[in-house]
Amino acid sequence: MGETDWGGGVPGEFGVGGTQKRTEPAGGTQTEKEVTKNRVPVFEGHLHIKEIHEAQNQIRELEKKIKELEARIPQRFPDVKFLNYRSKKRILITGGAGFVGSHLVDQLMIAGHEVIVADNFFTGRKRNVEHWIGHENFELIHHDIVNPLFIEVDEIYHLASPASPPHYMYNPVKTIKTNTVGTINMLGLAKRVGARVLIASTSEVYGDPEVHPQPETYWGHVNPIGPRACYDEGKRVSETLSYAYARQEKVDVRVARIFNTYGPRMHMNDGRVVSNFILQSLKNETITIYGHGKQTRSFQYVSDLVDGLVGLMASNYSLPINIGNPIEHTIEEFAILIKKLVGGPSKIEQTSAVEDDPQRRKPDIKRAKTYLGWEPKVWCVLYDKGPLSWSNDKEFLVTSPEVPGLIPTASRFFYETVGLEWGQLSLLRANEELLEQKNSGSNLEN
């Protein structure tokens, strides 16, 4: 018996491709009536194609209803001020997923502006801004600013750069590129779109200062080839670039020289004094002081810094401005205070000093007071009769007319400062890998 393909069949009735084979008798070809009689539907016992289409349509309708229901569920964003189109600004924050940048995002979002965060997550963390993801005014871009960025914005806060010694020393070439090539890209963007740009510089431009306190007119005392030079000199060059663009290209620039800052969302293993001491105390480990401990620092709370940055951006003052807390304390005093507040058996020990570590650091903030009307609202001093008090129930209170009782308990504040959830101490002690975790983005190429 021979076999012949039956072409042109109806899909679903004759099988995939519409082909049904029939058997010819040896003596000749079957009539059409006989062929029809001998057909065997392939989909017998299964859904007909029409029923499949109906099921698909029903699924689409269900998906549509689910989306409508999801849209009705209110997302829990912080309250945001409504601004009309004339007042609302479109603002780019480079490094916006970092410690300082994420707090700046919060303030600008709550003020009602549109905020775009560009971050390569080298030291920034998505969780710092994830509470805004999905908000119509917020956008998060995974972008390294050593590559140009082409967007339309009204203002640019250029905060992108590793800022703690272990981070910027880990990849010094990348640090220099971020502060030079990255700054050129941001200044170029500001030039193209007519945006005002604020460059986040640092008190490190003063190096190990020979003038105390440090005014903005002081040119600094910096080692250009030391281990910290990639950051110190990188920031000095970023300032030079800013004013070169201002003079030649008429770019509207602002420069903030930021002094030591602490607060929630600090990277717990960033190697800075506050986070180091807190983490060592929470783990009942030895509190390590590099050097003799008589070096001084002036620490400001992160909310004060953000207020200063926003005020500087809104001002008409274009020369560099120090933003820091003029209350100065020794490293040893900070170690004693943190040990006292956390409690526990931690001991304080001294070890060899770090190369090029500044011996004194205190900002002169006359410019900030005069031109911005800014000074710290949260004062951290080490005296029982001062704004910082230590009561029997271990409350760590900050005296401030703006935020009375800002920090409910010392321990909770310390957890949040080093980026831990409240109640995570036992996990931290049990899981030593938390301390050994590598920096996100540590594999970034030069």
pLDDT value for 325: 93
Q: Is residue 45 in a domain?
A: no
Contact 4, 21 (CB under 8 A): yes
Q: Is residue 11 in a domain?
A: no
Q: What is the dihedral of CA 362, 365, 367, 368, to 10 degrees?
A: 130
Gap between the Cα atoms of 400 and 271, Å rounded: 29
For the purposes of burial, counting CB atoms within 10 Å of the CB of 9, is it exposed (0-12), middle (13-18) or buried (19 or more)?
middle
Gap between the Cα atoms of 361 and 204, Å rounded: 9
pLDDT value for 284: 84
Which of 365-377 are b and which e, b meaning 16 or more Cβ less than 10 Å from the residue's Cβ? bebbeebbebebb
Q: What is the dihedral of CA 96, 254, 259, 307, to 10 degrees?
A: -70
pLDDT value for 28: 52
Task: Confirm whether 231 is a catalytic residue.
Answer: yes
DSSP states along 67-132? HHHHHHSPP-PPP-----TTT--EEEEETTTSHHHHHHHHHHHHTT-EEEEEE--SS--GGGTGGG
Q: Is residue 54 in a domain?
A: no
Q: Is residue 62 in a domain?
A: no
Q: Is residue 397 in a domain?
A: yes
Structure pTM?
0.72
Instruction: Give one word for 263, left, alpha or beta, with left for phi > 0 and alpha for psi -120 to 50.
Output: left
Total number of domains in the chain: 1
Query: Across the chain, what does the average pLDDT equal?
Result: 79
pLDDT value for 46: 55
Place of tokens 């004693």: 336
pLDDT value for 425: 37
Q: Which pairing describes strands 253-258 and 261-262: parallel, antiparallel, or unpaired?
A: unpaired
Gap between the Cα atoms of 198 and 257, Å rounded: 11
The pair of three-digit structure tokens given for residue 118, joined into one six-digit string? 């560009």
* 113: phi then psi, degrees, rounded to nearest 5: -90, 165
Q: Is residue 113 in a domain?
A: yes
Contact 358, 213 (CB under 8 A): no
> In percent, how much of the chain has pLDDT > 90?
44
- Where residue 198 sits, what CATH number does that domain have? 3.40.50.720
Contact 259, 300 (CB under 8 A): yes
Instruction: State the amino acid at position 233 in one-letter form.
Output: E
Q: Give the relative orientation of helices 302-314 and 99-110 as an angle to the nearest 10 degrees.
A: 60
Q: Which of 231, 262, 301, 415 is catalytic?
A: 231
pLDDT value for 68: 79
pLDDT, tens digit, 9 for 90 and up, residues 215-242:
999 999 999 999 889 999 999 999 999 9
- Cβ contacts of 290 within 8 Å, gap of 6 or more: 331, 350, 351, 352, 353, 354, 357
Q: Is residue 110 in a domain?
A: yes
Contact 211, 218 (CB under 8 A): yes
Gap between the Cα atoms of 336 and 297, Å rounded: 14
pLDDT, tens digit, 9 for 90 and up, residues 316-344:
999 999 999 998 889 998 888 888 877 77
Task: For the chain, list residues with pLDDT below 50.
Answer: 1-25, 35-36, 40, 42-44, 381-412, 419-446
- H/E stretch holding 23 reads strand 20-23
Give the domain extent around 372: 90-436
pLDDT value for 129: 95
pLDDT value for 329: 86
Q: Is residue 354 in a domain?
A: yes
Q: How far lies 40's CA from each of 15, 16, 19, 28, in Å?
A: 10, 14, 12, 21
